[in-house]
Structure 1
């Protein structure tokens, strides 16, 4: 795929994205930016959420991961489905009843200002790192396909990418995101399905033969029940899937801003349940694509890249397939990454403005608009800097790296909300920032200790231990004679 073709595809997609964002974001006020005025029909939100749940990391890393992890990711997807039920029937009614703009306002109401700040800062760190990693994935591909060929540095790549994300989310916020997520879902699913069809044709297989090849592949194993010490063990991944979904979606400002843009909690629940069903099929198709990619690498005699994340770009752009496959790959990657980055940037802006600066309580609407726009620009600049840091330090499969980041940073948030929902006790609020720092540190020490002493590997379920340390800390800080 030539740099000119990449630039033409990027320009065309960005132009379409900006048109959709401009049309949907006109005359958007602060309520429209933060909550889309809670007027999104549930079926539109559901279709948008299918794409919103997928990032550039999903698009590249999930297919590439099948060589090392087979279809074990489906064990987490099963947990995701249970987690969606928890979000729909436990969290959504509470958040709607309290009419929250930021989820972390709940912590202020339940425990106090220090707990509120601790939860908001945990989200800030988690989302800044996770979103930057997602954008870093697309930046590495663009560096390979365009910037390196023109001798342009990686920092310029990151700056241009984040400038475009900032521009298209600057005015409309969540209101624009819902419409651009619909565009993303269309592009993502079309790219995925058509890529599978073109690769199947290039392998000379019919649909039935393709299904048999995938089923017979050693990479298509789903269940891992034989080794509890393995980080792919079913129950570890299943439980991790539940808590990860609750933490990342149910307690993640970016995803819940979309869900809570619906008029009523019942509408939001319909949206979440439909999204859960669709997510199963879409992720399964990504894994099928992964098997086909490795079959094609063998068929075409290609040399496997060092990183599994580079397998899909290699086959799509330089694997000898029709040029349309490269275009489809790029459209899917761009749509997934720009939407995920836009959602994260909007959520970071919302949480920082509402939770940390507490601007809505201190300023009128005009001043709030000015503050929100400055924070939005600052978040974009900060994310660009973190992307640069990943450019020098990322050495793992991106999907694994994302969940490692989540396990450390979302654990305290999950623990705080669980304690708040399932007890009526109060805690000594002023010490909660210490708990939020201590829990990830203890989790890291536990992960290292059990590996060194018992050769037992804690995988994605580290989030559970992290939340447990947070809850233990809150129990120690509990006010004994207050309810």
Structure 2
């Protein structure tokens, strides 16, 4: 497909988002609007818009690509999704009531009230690191596609493509913040969902299959195995590993993450926030079934038409992340190509714009204390917020360049590997705060615990086969990380008569 057509579409899409941002922020762009949308969001808009934030371009490209990966992944990812669903229910019934009861703007303020100053700063710092790495990795995936299928044709270097992408995102988020994000994410989720169903339709048409025939073909193919129950020790896809990992990755990456929780905290009541989470969970599970189905159809199409998995430009090895864009943009008609680009752009930028807003909010509240210094000049705090927003955009730019230089694996695998190390200490901190009563922490030692726990996990993961009788870790490593943190916190605490309030 012509790079000029794709570029025109991309520019038109961002013009639409900038227009939405203008109308949502022209009357009010203060910090309350930016951080929590004046606590006036509609739960059904947030529930639908969170789909785009939670799924991202990784789900759109990498999950379908992994279905036919050489490791024999098939539909094993759905085991993880089922764990995600349980994690979302725990968030709605345990964490959200706590956050609303304390009337939080930043969820890490709970750690300050419960554990102390250094614990609070550590938790907020973990989020800033985790979300920056995770969001940069997600954006990196779509930038690869933009570079390969659009900007290479114009001789634009990779770093410039990254800068253009971040500049476009910054242009429609810097002023309105969460108030704008809730509307743009709803719009982008609509495009994402539409593109999934249209992609299935277009690929089925190319295979001369109607929808019932397509799902029967998928069912009878070699790609549809969901549950893996053989070889517990060495199989990373074993059901319990994926399911348990899915639960705790969700609790950490959603319930203990300012990004997605910030949207929940923008609603008037806890009842609306719960309705949002339960509705979101149902849509999330169903939509992932369709993403996996897209993956199976793509590999069936590729086999029928003699299409190989594209090679990575750097490593020259097959890269499953690129199969979907290769087929959509080079082997289908113009309309399917536009639909693909629409879905990919919507999914990835819905995640990145939300992340930049959450990173800005956390830094402004947790490190600059903007929700506490009410006597400061309003204009001054807004200007500081703009500078923080720019700084995180630049930081994400630099991280993407580093990832591009180092990474050659599937992006979905990389994201969950990063999460296992960076979000694990948050699990330990919140578990200690919620379940350990009448013990006081040696607060100044908490940062060291949260650094040493991931290091211990790294070596445990690397040598687990030798140390644990052949056992190989998967995403459940995050639980081990949280347990190491939790036990270490117990060791640096002592019994106290003071009663816990939260």
Residues 378-389 of structure 1 correspond to what in structure 2 (within 5 A)?
A: 378-389=391-402
Q: 2:389 — aligned with what?
A: 376
Q: 1:157 — aligned with what?
A: 161
Q: 1:281 — aligned with what?
A: 286
Asked if the contact 1:404/1:460 (under 8 Å) is kept, the reply is yes
Q: Cα offset for 1:226?
A: 1.4
The size of the alignment, in residue pairs, is 482
1:117-150 deviations in Å (ceiling 9; x for gaps): 1111111110000000011001000110112112
> Which of 219, 225, 237 matches 1:215?
219
2:434 maps to 1:421: yes
Asked if the contact 2:105/2:265 (under 8 Å) is kept, the reply is no
Q: 1:440 — aligned with what?
A: 454
Q: Cα offset for 1:482?
A: 4.2
2:143 maps to 1:131: no
Q: C-alpha separation between the residues in 1 aligned to 2:17 and 2:350? A: 9
Q: 2:493 — aligned with what?
A: 478
2:366 maps to 1:365: no
* SS class of match (1:67): coil
Asked if the contact 1:360/1:368 (under 8 Å) is kept, the reply is no
Q: 2:246 — aligned with what?
A: 241
Residues 24-423 of structure 1 correspond to what in structure 2 (within 5 A)?
A: 24-26=24-26, 27-68=28-69, 69-229=73-233, 230-305=235-310, 306-319=318-331, 321-362=332-373, 363-423=376-436
Q: C-alpha separation between the residues in 2 aligned to 1:106 and 1:455? A: 40
TM-score normalised to structure 2 length:
0.94
Q: Cα offset for 1:304?
A: 1.9
Asked if the contact 1:32/1:172 (under 8 Å) is kept, the reply is yes
Q: 1:460 — aligned with what?
A: 475
* SS class of match (1:426): strand
Q: C-alpha separation between the residues in 2 aligned to 1:360 and 1:366? A: 14
Ranges in structure 2 where 5+ consecutive residues have no aligned partner: 311-317
> Which of 414, 436, 450 matches 2:464?
450
Q: Cα offset for 1:429?
A: 0.4
**Larger CA deviation: 292-301 vs 21-30:** 21-30
Ranges in structure 1 where 5+ consecutive residues have no aligned partner: none
Asked if the contact 1:81/1:276 (under 8 Å) is kept, the reply is yes
Asked if the contact 1:59/1:332 (under 8 Å) is kept, the reply is yes
**Larger CA deviation: 10-19 vs 448-457:** 448-457
* Greater fraction helix: 1
Q: Cα offset for 1:106?
A: 0.7
Q: C-alpha separation between the residues in 2 aligned to 1:28 and 1:35? A: 11
Q: Cα offset for 1:338?
A: 1.0
RMSD (CA atoms): 1.1
Q: Cα offset for 1:333?
A: 0.7
Q: C-alpha separation between the residues in 2 aligned to 1:25 and 1:417? A: 35
Q: 1:469 — aligned with what?
A: 484
Asked if the contact 2:41/2:266 (under 8 Å) is kept, the reply is yes
Asked if the contact 1:426/1:482 (under 8 Å) is kept, the reply is no
Q: C-alpha separation between the residues in 1 aligned to 2:309 and 2:360? A: 40
**Larger CA deviation: 359-368 vs 382-391:** 359-368
2:5 maps to 1:19: no
* SS class of match (2:372): helix
Q: Cα offset for 1:426?
A: 2.0
Q: Cα offset for 1:206?
A: 1.8
Q: C-alpha separation between the residues in 1 aligned to 2:56 and 2:432? A: 30
Asked if the contact 1:32/1:175 (under 8 Å) is kept, the reply is yes
Q: Cα offset for 1:364?
A: 3.9
